[in-house]
Every structure is written in C-alpha cells, then in structure tokens.
Structure 1
Amino acid sequence: MSSEESMCSICNVRESSGFSYGVLCCGACKMFFRRALFVKNIDTCRQKGECIKKCRYCRFQKCIQAGMSYTPTENLLELKNNDSLSAFIFNLAHQDELRKYQLMNCRYDGDPTVAEIAEHNTPLNFTKKPDDFPMNLGEWIFITGLTSLNYLKKFNHVNMLNASDRHFLLKYSFFDMSIFTDSMRACEKGEGVITFPDGTEVIRAEVPGLEQKFLNGIRCRLAARVNELKVTKEEFLLLSAVFFCNPGLPGISESGRGILSTYQKIYTSALLQYCLLTYQQTGPTRFTDLLSVLQVVTKTRQDISYLFILNSIRGPPSALKKIFIFR
C-alpha cells in the first residue's frame, strides 16, 4: 500500500487505521463520526463550507461525502437502543441531503454501466453543474439514477456482497429508489404528480393509442399513496433501507440472500420501532401501511418499464444511458 493510499480519506493528514464505517480512515475521524451521530452537535457552518479543518459541520460533511455510513447492530426493538435508532436516522438524513444537493447542483461526466459503478466501493465523483447547463428529460433521468445509485451503494450491506451480487442489487433497486424520491418530492410540494425538480414530466408518451388512464397511473399512483399516508422524511429514509434489502431479487447468490435477509431484518426492526415510538398504539397499523408502499413502487416501475418497451419497438432510444441497459 502506498503512503497516499494509507492516508485517512477524511482528514488526509493522519495515517488510516483501517476501514471504519465503510471508508479508510484514521482513529480520530472514526471517533468523530460516531460522536457526531450520537451527540448530534453539528451546527451549520458559519463560513459557508470554507473551514474544513476546524468546523464540525464541514468535517462531518466530509465524512458523509467520503461514504461513511452507520448501521446499528443492536436489537432496535429494545427501548435501551433508541439512541442507535436515532443515530441511524441521523446518518440517513445527511446522506439524503447530499443526494438532493447532487441532484440539484451537479452533473456527471461519463456513461458508466451499473456493473462498473458496483465494482468500486468509493462514491461517484460528481462535478458542479454550470448555471447554463441544459437539463432536458434525458439529463434529469440520468442524474436522478446516478444520485440514487450513489446513495444506495454507501449502505454497509452493499460492500459485504460479492461483485456479482452487488451488481444485481444495485441494478434492480436504483430505479425504485429514484421514483420513490420523485414521489416524496411531489408530497413535499403538495403535488399529486411526480415530476423532476424543474417541473419536467417524468414520462412522455410516444405510443399512439396508449390509454390516458395508464399514463396517469404512472404519473399519479405513487405520489397519491405517499400523500395519502403523509409519509414523513424519517419514514421515507427507513422504508428506502427496507426496500433496498430484497433477498428475492434475480441473480442474487445464496450467500448474498443471507446477507440481505439479515440487514432487511435490521432495517425492518428500525421502521417498526420508529412507528411504535411515534404512533404508539396505532404503530403496528402504521408500519403495515408504510410497507404497502413497496407494492405501489413496484407497480409504477413495471408500468414505466412496459412504456419503455413499447417506445423501444419503434426503435432504440438514441440517448439511452448505459445504467438503464440491463445486461
């Protein structure tokens, strides 16, 4: 290992002591990240991000950007472990804020496949988007997919999988994550139709004779369910984790299914405990209602895939990015 490779990926000053929370880091940065998760004394940067070495906020953001991720191993259904549940949600919230920032402000140079993305444990390298960068439908689809992939690949269980399982997990999950985030954005804006941040429609029908009811189902079904349940940010974060641990996905090996089953139980317990703490007697009902969202996500994704197939009959899309090509 070279001296550069042995340096902490957070501070880049001290030598790393090994992999902790998914990244190569030193003991000081490891302890800082853990304390920040549990104490949560992270105030907004007064220098607008220009004080990396001194500001706790900026140092924590460097941890998040480097891919540090916390997953509790305790039984979250025990009240004594509520601090671990809170730390887990805190970590997910900051990861999601980074996803939103990258979606709105960044671009990605290149056209990688999901397999290529899955090969590397490090986060994707986004660049700042110029103010005059044209965001058409294709660009929104691409950046939404990539930011979803970048968010998902930081989960601890992803790096425990072999390369093949990691590829299949990301390939069959990132689109669900993308349309789920679209529906949450619609809910936050008080809208009943999923669109991209600038209002661009998520789908455009080009197949003559396709029923409007079918198209409206794609546009509105998931957003309507999320609005109906009034899914909170915390519930969205925990649900996303549960959805992203499906051991029944095609192509996953037996050992991979075992890893996903273990982590799905952890994330499901976290969601259930959150519901019990938040809604008390109606917590179990709320838990069941939230899990039903997965069926709506799946149905919406299937309809979009069907629409894509119908469009492809007329000819392959010229600008289709490789992450959307299943192979």
Structure 2
Amino acid sequence: MQAGNISEHFLLMRMNRQPTYCAICNKADGGFNYGASCCNSCKMFFRRAAQHPNFPTHCKNTNSCVGCRFCRYQRCLAAGMVWKDPTPVMRDITPTIKHLAKLDNHRQNVFLNYVAMDNLTLDELIESNSVNYTLKQHGVQLDVFNWATLKHTTSVVFMKNFDFVPLLDSEDLKVYVKQMYKPFMMFCTAMRCYTNRRECAEFPEGLDILPQQLTSQFINCPEVLLKVRCPIVNRLKELNIIYEEFLMVTAIFICNPVSSKLSPNGQTIISRSQKKYASILMQYCLIKYQNSGPSRFSDLLSLFDTINNTAKNLDNVLIQSFGTFQPKRQKVFDDMMKAVLE
C-alpha cells in the first residue's frame, strides 16, 4: 500500500470509528494498534510479548484465566493483533535521514563558523560550482548583512545538493531555487532558534534577523515585525518537532513542483522526489506514532502554511520599506528585493 493510500485509510478510519473498548481487557481503548482496538496498556504488553525470547508457552492455571501473561497474549491474538517488526522499514528510512542530516550538518557548520568571500548575484550563486569561504576568526562579530549572506549561500548550496538537481536543466534549476530558498532560510532560522529555546527568529548572538534601518520604519507598529520573527518558531513549539521530522519536512517542502515557470519535465522530476520524501515521512510517523501517525503527518505538513505566510509577511515588510531600506553591498539582496517587487 502506498503512503498516500495508507494516509487516506487511517484518516478515514479515525473519522468514522465509533467509540469502542479494548478487545483484550474491555477498558476504554486508546486507538487501533497492531490490527485491533486496544488500550495503550495492552498495546505495550503485546509489543513486549511478541518480542520476548522466552515468553510463556502455556497457561499456569486453567487456560482461561484473566491474570496470566500467556492467556492475555492469546486474547491479543484472538482479537486480531499481529506483530510486524518495524526494523526492516526503519532500515529503509534511516539512510535517507542520515543523508539529509549530513547535508544539514554541513550547512550549519559553514553558517556558524565561516564567512562568505564572494559577492555573487543569486543567478551566479545558483550557477556556481562552489562558494569561497574563509574561517571566521575568534572574537569577530558579524553584522546582520554578513549573517544574512551566509544564510543565503548555505541555503542555496543545500538545495543544490539534492540528488535530483543534476536532472534539471539550467532554467528549471533557477526556478526551483528562487521559489523556495527564502522560505527555506526562514524555516532553518526558526528551527535553530527553537532548538536553542529562543522565543523568536534571530541570528546567532541574539542579533535581530531584520536590520535596524528596516525595523526603524515600523516603530509605531511592531506587531508587523513580530509576524516575521515569531510564527514559525511558535508553530515548532506547538508541534514539539524533533530533528528527524524537521529534516524530512524540509525535504518535502523544498521539493515543490508547483510553479508555472517550471517545465513539465522539471515538474515531474521534482514531484517524484517530493512523493518519495512524503512516503518516507508517512512511514516514519506510522512507526513512531502508530494510530496517531496520520494525524502527526498532517500536523507536520501544516508547517507549510505557516512558513509560506511568514515569507509573505516578510515580502510585505520589504515592499513597505522600499526606497528607505538599502541593503549593504551584497548583490544577493538586490536580487531578493527585485524578486519581491516583481
């Protein structure tokens, strides 16, 4: 069964299922687990029993007792519970997570420890085979524009390292990067701040992600800037997201085939990758959260709306400050402003 079908099946089951009781102990159930309606206690018992190497093979009492482990296990089997070891599925999921973690660790390492040397336009950054960095000297403090340049370059390089990118032609590559790199930057920034228990998005050392010459335009309406700094971090807190989930959501989010500027071939290539990562995330959620897996999958994907809305809020801030906000030298900022105003 494909991930999409799994999702639909479980969501319909959750919507249509009437309140029931545990088929093993007759207490109020905790959901549909291992093929039967059962409470969390019986679910955990069945999982331990199915994996126990020396589990009892007969009843010590009358073969129909209430309290012994053997009879309880037999009631689980009679209710239709079936143990399926998640290890083989996780064996398929784990390499993907490790690969994404490797890409992201490299992105974070460069962002936190290096300084970008090249002053490239966005097109040049996309077309470049490499970006020149120098190791950041101890005690050197970067300003908001230095941090933002690092965020731009490391985000674009991360996106270009996905395995489907060599299959895209040069025009599709530009469309792919340009439509997603800014919201992706905002997502990464929010995740780092959420991990560090910050209240809002900021650069390292507590530096505001918005330059002072821009924020000074909104002294009388600070709530406008809060809509840029805080929503994604707040949503991550609500979801209590973990790093593995962040990686898979990132991959699905980046692989966005919805753009009229993409060629049909480009849409097909990117869509194929998005479906692959969505399937992996669904399998992960079903294994980790079991009957709550589909709802967790849906909750994680709800991040897309938060990220996109926050990116639109940033665009609105840039549009309102047009003419007064002049980015510092870096060409990539000029490109970003042009894209917002198009």
Instruction: Give 5+ residue unaligned stretches, structure 2.
Output: 1-85
1:135: how far off? 0.3
Matches within 5 A, 1:273-284: 273-284=283-294
1:42 corresponds in structure 2 to: none
The CA distance in 2 between the partners of 1:322 and 1:250, in whole Å, is: 24
**2:171 maps to 1:164:** yes
Q: 1:102 aligns with which of 110, 114, 118?
A: 110
1:116 corresponds in structure 2 to: 124
Instruction: Give 5+ residue unaligned stretches, structure 1.
Output: 1-77
1:318: how far off? 4.3
Deviations 1:8-28 (A, max 9, x none): xxxxxxxxxxxxxxxxxxxxx
**2:155 maps to 1:148:** yes
Q: Which amino acid aligns with 1:246?
A: N
1:87 corresponds in structure 2 to: 95
The CA distance in 1 between the partners of 2:334 and 2:274, in whole Å, is: 25
Pair 254,139 (structure 1): closer, same or farther in 2 beyond 3 Å: same
Runs ≥4 residues deviating over 4 A:
78-81
Relative to its length, the structure with more helix (as a share) is 2
1:81: how far off? 4.5
1:301 corresponds in structure 2 to: 311
**2:286 maps to 1:271:** no
Pair 183,254 (structure 1): closer, same or farther in 2 beyond 3 Å: same
Q: 1:317 aligns with which of 322, 327, 335?
A: 327
Instruction: Specify the SS of the correspondent of 2:295.
Output: helix
**2:271 maps to 1:261:** yes
The CA distance in 1 between the partners of 2:127 and 2:199, in whole Å, is: 37
Pair 108,300 (structure 1): closer, same or farther in 2 beyond 3 Å: same
Q: Kindly report the root-mean-square deviation, in angstroms, between the aligned alpha carbons of the 2 structures.
A: 2.0
1:12 corresponds in structure 2 to: none
Instruction: Specify the SS of the correspondent of 1:190.
Output: coil
Instruction: Specify the SS of the correspondent of 1:191.
Output: coil
**2:242 maps to 1:232:** yes
Matches within 5 A, 1:282-293: 282-293=292-303
Partners of 2:125 and 2:153 within 8 A in 1:
no
Partners of 1:148 and 1:174 within 8 A in 2:
yes
Partners of 2:126 and 2:156 within 8 A in 1:
no
Deviations 1:155-205 (A, max 9, x none): 011221100110111112111111111111121112221111111011241
**Higher Rg of the two aligned structures:** 2
Instruction: Specify the SS of the correspondent of 2:322.
Output: helix
Q: Percent identity?
A: 28
> For this pair of structures, how many residues does the alignment match?
249
Q: Which amino acid aligns with 1:283?
A: G
Partners of 2:228 and 2:314 within 8 A in 1:
yes
1:274: how far off? 1.1
**2:177 maps to 1:199:** no
Partners of 2:224 and 2:317 within 8 A in 1:
no
